[in-house]
């Protein structure tokens, strides 16, 4: 047998015996034929007892793990058996030499436990986050109903349906109406963010007209654009095919949050929207995995550029992170980051990329890339 010929060489035995890792020779049935002096210490049992055991009695599924390590040339982790109360995990590497396995074992108990603990904590954190989002969604829905009543009745009073009011009463009612509307808007944003952070958001991929989708969103902001006297341009001339495959509602939400942020930050000048097909190399540089059958029109890039107030560099680093804004008392910063975080979460789900470039007093540019072909 090959391993018996190998073991007959004293020089090789000396080398194996002096290795810091445990070494086992076992036949193809898992019968242990030779071990070095590290193995008894690893398994906390006399050398003679180990020779009475099969590989599967020494390590859980030991023979299968040795075969797997030998076939893939990659190490695997196994749990040792018969070690008393002590937990022992070993990294296994193996070579198949005709009728035997040469197996190397390394103690990875501490690192394995550490990684396992991290994974358990990660899963626990994911569950807590999921429960938190579900709670926020439920709470937000519960809050919306009474606030809708405040908005509705206060608006009715402003419109004179509750009878005549003094100037002071009318002033207070208008303040109540304004603030309750802002609160309702904030709750709606928190609800939307919570849904996109969990599995509560209902995605629906289908074919739709991208030009119509963009124009429908812009129509919702006609009054704001007119009030600010802004020049808004839409350039979609490069788009060869208007019909795309994606989630229309998700896309509209992404674009709506971006255009709303841009309009709120721009009081004078213009907002320019451009759609194009980015180069595949550029798409890859943005961290998007290119599909094998991708073509020059497989991805769509929407760029929104404005001449607004811009964002400071320190704020730009956390612009998509609403929780990073909690130590900043400015309500506008928080709402803005919630809106952009919603867009970021949805773009990520659509397998795209989103980023922002900005300079104070010179304006901002928002960029999104999403795949627009089925598959």
Q: What is the pLDDT of residues 252-280, one digit of tens each?
A: 999 999 999 999 999 999 999 999 999 99
Mean pLDDT across 48-71: 86
Mean pLDDT across 316-320: 84
Confidence of residue 213 (pLDDT cuts 50, 70, 90): very high
CA nearest 43: which of 107, 112, 113? 107
Of 51-60, 149-158, 203-212, the range with the highest mean pLDDT is 203-212
Classify 205-371 by CATH class: alpha beta
Confidence of residue 9 (pLDDT cuts 50, 70, 90): very low
Does residue 109 register a pLDDT over 80?
A: no
Does residue 291 register a pLDDT over 70?
A: yes
Q: What are phi and psi of 80, to 5 degrees?
A: -75, 145
Q: Give one DSSP letter per residue of 189-234, joined into a string.
A: HHHHHHHHHTTTS---EEEEEHHHHHHHHHHTTHHHHHHHT-EEEE
Does residue 83 register a pLDDT over 70?
A: no
Mean pLDDT across the chain: 83
| C-alpha span between 352 and 350 (Å, rounded) | 5
Q: Among 42-46, 290-294, 339-343, 353-357, which stretch is predicted with the lowest mean pLDDT?
A: 42-46
| C-alpha span between 167 and 338 (Å, rounded) | 37
pLDDT of res. 218: 96
Q: For 373, which DSSP code?
A: S
Sequence-ordered alpha helix ranges (H) in the chain: 2-7, 10-17, 38-43, 47-51, 55-58, 62-72, 109-158, 167-197, 210-219, 222-228, 248-265, 280-285, 313-316, 331-349
Instruction: Show the tokens assigned to 367.
Output: 């960029």
Does residue 85 register a pLDDT over 50?
A: no
Confidence of residue 331 (pLDDT cuts 50, 70, 90): low
Mean pLDDT across 289-293: 87
Confidence of residue 161 (pLDDT cuts 50, 70, 90): confident
CA nearest 333: which of 307, 311, 358? 311
Confidence of residue 11 (pLDDT cuts 50, 70, 90): very low
Contact yes or no for 215/182 (Cβ under 8 A): no
User: Is the model more confident about 238 or about 216?
Assistant: 216
Fold of domain 2-107: Beta-Lactamase (3.30.450)
**Residue 320 DSSP SS3:** coil
Torsional class of 201: left (φ above 0), alpha (ψ -120 to 50), beta (otherwise): beta
């Amino acid at each position: 047998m090959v391993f018996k010929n190998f073991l007959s060489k004293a020089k090789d035995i000396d080398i194996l015996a002096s290795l810091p890792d445990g070494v086992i020779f076992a036949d193809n049935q898992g019968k242990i034929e030779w071990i070095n002096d590290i193995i008894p210490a690893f398994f906390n049992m006399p050398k003679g007892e180990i020779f009475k055991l099969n590989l599967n009695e020494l390590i859980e599924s030991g023979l299968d793990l040795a075969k797997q390590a030998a076939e893939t040339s990659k190490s695997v982790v196994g749990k040792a058996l018969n070690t008393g109360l002590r937990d022992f995990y070993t990294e296994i590497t193996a070579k198949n030499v005709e009728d035997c396995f040469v197996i190397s074992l390394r103690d990875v108990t501490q690192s394995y436990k550490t990684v396992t603990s991290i994974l358990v904590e990660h899963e626990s954190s994911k569950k807590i986050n999921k429960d938190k989002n579900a709670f926020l969604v439920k709470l937000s829905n519960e809050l919306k109903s009474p606030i809708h009543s405040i908005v509705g009745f206060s608006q009715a009073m402003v419109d004179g349906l509750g009878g005549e009011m003094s100037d002071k009463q009318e002033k207070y009612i208008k303040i109540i109406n304004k603030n309750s509307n802002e609160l309702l808007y904030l709750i709606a944003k928190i609800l939307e963010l919570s849904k996109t952070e969990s599995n509560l958001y209902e995605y629906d991929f289908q074919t739709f007209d991208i030009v119509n989708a963009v124009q429908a969103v812009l129509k919702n902001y006609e009054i704001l654009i007119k009030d600010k006297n802004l020049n808004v341009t839409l350039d979609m001339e490069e788009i060869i095919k208007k019909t795309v495959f994606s989630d229309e509602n998700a896309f509209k939400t992404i674009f709506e949050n971006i255009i709303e942020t841009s309009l709120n930050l721009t009081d004078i000048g213009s907002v320019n929207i451009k759609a194009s097909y980015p180069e595949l190399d550029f798409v890859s540089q943005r961290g998007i995995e290119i599909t094998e059958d991708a073509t020059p029109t497989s991805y769509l890039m929407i760029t929104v550029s404005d001449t607004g107030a811009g964002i400071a560099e320190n704020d730009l680093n956390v612009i998509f992170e609403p929780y990073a804004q909690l130590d900043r008392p400015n309500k506008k910063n928080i709402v803005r980051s919630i809106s952009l975080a919603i867009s970021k979460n949805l773009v990520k789900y659509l397998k795209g990329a989103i980023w922002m470039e900005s300079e104070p007093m010179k304006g901002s540019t928002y960029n999104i890339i999403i795949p627009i072909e089925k598959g």
